[in-house]
Structure 1
Amino acid sequence: MTLKSGWVNCVALCGLVMTTQAFADCEKPFLAGDFGYSVCKDWPAYPGLTITALSQFESGYSASDYGPQGKYDLNLAVVTAGDSKPLATYHKTSVFESDAIAFEGLQLDTARYKLTPEVRAFGVRATFNGSSRVNPVSEKLLSLYVKEGDKLRPVLDKLITYEYGGEWDGNCAGERYQYTRTVEIGQTSSHGFADLIVKTVSTSETGKGQGDACESKTMTAKPVLTTLRYDGKTYVLPQGFKGL
C-alpha cells in the first residue's frame, strides 16, 4: 500500500466514522481534508432516523480558482437520533469528478419515493457548474438509494434533473438551452418496483444582433413524459438522461 492510497483509505474510513458521530445530532460532520461537502437531513418517512451524506476530495489535485480538480468519493449513512452507530451505510470511491465543470455541492432529497408498499427511497442531488460565461454549463444530478439490512443500495444513478448550456457572445448573439426534469411515482411497476415518470421541460433561447439591435427569442417545448423501469437492479436511463 502506498502512502497516498493509505491516506485516501484513512480519509474514507475516518470520514465515515466521524460523520456518523456528528450526524447523530444532525450537526455538520468532520471533514478529513480541506475539500468536501457534507449534509444531513431527518427522514420524515421514518421518524427518529437521519440521513447523512459526505463527499470528500480523493486525488488529482490541480490548483484553480474553483477548488481542486479530481475525484470525490461518497459516504452515506442512516443513523438513529442520539446514536452514533449507523443502521445502514454506503461507500464508493470516485463517484464524482470535478474539472472544468466543477463539483459544487450535495443535497439530500426526502420526497415520497415510495417504490413498494414497504420500500421508500431517498435522493442524493449533486450540483456542477462551469466557469465560462460564453460557454455556460450547469448540471444537477439525482440518485436514489434504498435501505436493505445494514446496507444502502443505489437504484437510480445520476439522472440529469437540470441542464443548462450553450454558446453565445456574452451580449446577444448565440444559442442557449435548458432542460428541467421532475420525477413522480407511476401506477405501474417493473420487477416489483414502481415505475418512475420523468417529465422533461425544455427551453431554448436564440439571439442575434448587437446592442439596441439585439433580438432574442425564447421557446418552451411541450413537456415530454418518459417512463423509467426497474430491471431488477437499477432504473434504466435512456440515452442523454444520465450524467457523468
Structure 2
Amino acid sequence: MKRTLLCLVAGFAPLLAHAGCEDNFEKWTQQLHPGRTLDTEHATCKVWPANEALTIAALPLPQKGNEDDHGTDDLEVLVADTASGTVIAHQFQKAAIQYDAVRFSGLALDTARYQLTPQNRAFGVRVMHESSSRVNPFGQTALSLYVIDGQSLRTVLDRLIVEDSGGEWDGNCAGTFSNTTRALDLGAAGNDAYATLRIREKSVQTVNTPTKDDCASKEATGKRTNAVLEYRNGKYAVPKGMQYSD
C-alpha cells in the first residue's frame, strides 16, 4: 500500500470555522448539555472537506469555579448534518482540558487525509496550551483522532504531542530554546485493516549568545526519532513521553 504523507506540521495551517456553522453553537450546547455555558472564544467548527454533507465541531464547556488563570473545561466533539445542524454523532469528554500555570490557548480542527481504512476516515482535534511567561516560554499542541461509530465518536489516537516548545532566556538575548515537532505518515494496512501510523520527529535546539554589537543565534538539530503505531484493541497506543498529560 502506497504511503500517504500527512502534512501535519509543515503543511498545517489554522483552519477557519465555516461561515454559518458557528450559528449552531448555542443549539448544540443546549441540546447536549442544557444549562451549560460554552466558551465561544475557543469553540470551533467547519464543514468536513472529505464529506461536505457533514460538519465537525469542538465545544469547550467550562466547569464551575474556573478562574481566568486556572480551571478545567469539559469538551464536546461532534459531527452534525451540514444542512440542518442535526447532531449525528458525538463524544463528551469530562475534564478534557485543564490549565493552571500553562493556559489553554485554543482548539483547531484537523482534516488531513486520515483514511485509516477504506471505510473509516478520521478527523483530528488539536488542543493548544502555552505559558504566559516571557522569559520561560512554553507551548504544546496535542492531537486526537476520531472516527464515527454509530451515534458516537470513538477516539483512535489520544493526545499525541505534535508540537512541544520551550526555553529560558534573560529577556534580552542570552538563552536556550527547544522545539520538537511530529508528523504522521499512513503506512500499510495492519490489524483489523487499519493503517499503521508512522511518526516522524524532528527536534531543534537554538542557543542565543550576546556579541559585541548583536545577538548571535546557533541551531543544532537533534537525532530524528521515528516510531510506528499499530492499531490494537480499538486504538493506536501513544508511546510514553509523546502523550500529553495535564
TM-score, scaled relative to structure 1: 0.81
Over the matched positions of the two proteins, sequence identity in percent amounts to: 39
Residue 236 of structure 1 aligns to which amino acid in structure 2?
A: A
The aligned residue for residue 166 of structure 2 is 165
Tell me how far apart the structure 1 counterparts of residues 172 and 211 of structure 2 sit (CA, whole Å). Answer: 7
For the aligned residue pairs, the C-alpha RMSD in angstroms reads: 2.2
Q: What secondary structure is seen at the aligned counterpart in 1 of 2:232? A: coil
Structure 2 Cα separation of the partners of residues 70 and 45 of structure 1 = 35
Structure 2 equivalent of residue 111 of structure 1: 112
Letter in 1 for 2:96: V
Alignment check: 8 A CA contact 2:52 2:82 kept? no
1:41 aligns with 2:46: yes
Q: Which amino acid aligns with 2:21?
A: C
Q: Secondary structure at the match of 2:213?
A: helix
CA contact (8 A) 1:116 1:194 kept: yes
The whole-number CA distance in structure 2 between the counterparts of 1:84 and 1:178 is 39
Alignment of 1:1-244 (within 5 A): 25-28=20-23, 29-30=25-26, 32-33=36-37, 35-36=39-40, 37-62=42-67, 67-209=68-210, 212=213, 214-244=215-245
Bigger RCO of structures 1 and 2 (CA < 8 A, at least 6 apart): 2
8 Å CA contact 1:134–1:167 kept in 2: the answer is: yes
What TM-score, normalized by structure 2, do the two folds share? Answer: 0.81
Per the TM alignment, residue 51 of structure 1 is displaced from its structure 2 partner at its CA by: 0.8
**How many residues matched?**
218
| Cα distance in 1, alignment partners of residues 107 and 114 from structure 2 | 18
- 1-side partners of 2:224 and 2:127: how far apart? 24
1:130-176 Cα deviation digits (max 9, x unpaired): 01111110111100001001100111111111111022212222311
The answer to whether the 8 A contact 1:24-1:80 is kept is no
One-letter amino acid of the counterpart of residue 71, structure 2: G
Q: Could you tell me how far apart the structure 2 residues matched to 1:24 and 1:173 are?
A: 45
Q: Which residue of 2 aligns with 1:8?
A: none
